Homo-oligomer: A and B are copies of this chain.
Amino acid sequence: MSSKIQVALADADVLCRVGLSGLLAKISDTEIVGEAGNTEELLRILQDDHVDVVIVDYNQPKYFDYTIAAQIKKISTDTQILVISSDSRRERIYQVLEDGVSSFLTKQCDENEILDAIAATAKGEKFYCHKILDMIIERSFPSKDEDCTPTSLTPREKEILTLVAKGKVAKEIAAELHISPHTIYTHRKNILKKLQLTSPTEMVVYALEHGLIDLQSLN
């Protein structure tokens, strides 16, 4: 077995994989063990070969989703995960970070930043780009003026927001949760007030922006 760092590329877009290969070629002690265009392919690689680092974009519906980190860790605990994604949804990002992702970049990061991140992750260190670092800090020390509203919703409110955003009307939600329609009205009113929205349709936009639902999952 080679002593080089074994890297697996997981991205639905072949273009990004080519880009990553190109960048990895500049780091001498790394070696690509495999490329995966979807979750299934990635898990197969992890089962068949030893992988030190997985570079993955989890925000590619149908190919990779936010559960990918947990799935990777389940098969191969010691594999380090480097995320390169364009996701901007705070809650989703926090969730992924909690699932054991070592490093997190956006696809907008420049070349040097990506190279540094790959090198750091390979060595077992963590690396976060500025945008993600800001989010982590914001979570630890929330500022007053710019509050992170999604967390201010109660679990029940989030649940109802999700259902509203999926196009269900109050009566349907009430039937589904076995509670009174009035309860839905109250929750919905509180949600609208908390988020400073005025109509249920605005809730859809809000839910989409904050990753409570996503377009693909609605079909």
Query: How far is B123's CA from A163's CA once the two chains are assembled, in angstroms?
Result: 52
Nearest chain B residue, comparing its CB with the CB of A60: B86
* Interface contact B201-A208, CB-CB below 8 Å: no
8 Å CB interface, A163-208 against B: 164-169, 197-205, 208
Query: Does A4 sit within 8 A of B, measured CB to CB?
Result: no
* Interface contact B167-A202, CB-CB below 8 Å: yes
* Interface contact B14-A111, CB-CB below 8 Å: yes
Query: How far is B215's CA from A21's CA once the two chains are assembled, in angstroms?
Result: 32
Query: How far is B15's CA from A203's CA once the two chains are assembled, in angstroms?
Result: 33
* Interface contact A167-B199, CB-CB below 8 Å: yes
With A167-B201, A199-B167, A201-B203 already in contact, the answer to whether A108 and B215 are too (CB < 8 A) is: no
Query: How far is B164's CA from A65's CA once the two chains are assembled, in angstroms?
Result: 30
Selected contact of A197 from candidates B21, B114, B167, CB within 8 Å: B167
- Please classify the interface of chain A as helix (H, G, I), strand (E, B), loop, or mixed, using the class held by over half of its residues: helix
Selected contact of A164 from candidates B86, B110, B201, B203, CB within 8 Å: B201
Nearest chain B residue, comparing its CB with the CB of A17: B19
With A18-B22, A208-B215 already in contact, the answer to whether A201 and B165 are too (CB < 8 A) is: yes
* Interface contact A169-B199, CB-CB below 8 Å: yes
Nearest chain B residue, comparing its CB with the CB of A16: B15
Selected contact of A201 from candidates B111, B204, B209, CB within 8 Å: B204
Query: How far is B15's CA from A84's CA once the two chains are assembled, in angstroms?
Result: 9
Selected contact of A167 from candidates B110, B198, B218, CB within 8 Å: B198
Query: How far is B198's CA from A168's CA once the two chains are assembled, in angstroms?
Result: 8
Selected contact of A22 from candidates B13, B19, B198, B204, CB within 8 Å: B19
Complex A-B: 10 CB contacts under 8 Å: A12-B107, A13-B108, A14-B107, A14-B108, A15-B23, A18-B20, A19-B20, A167-B205, A168-B201, A204-B205
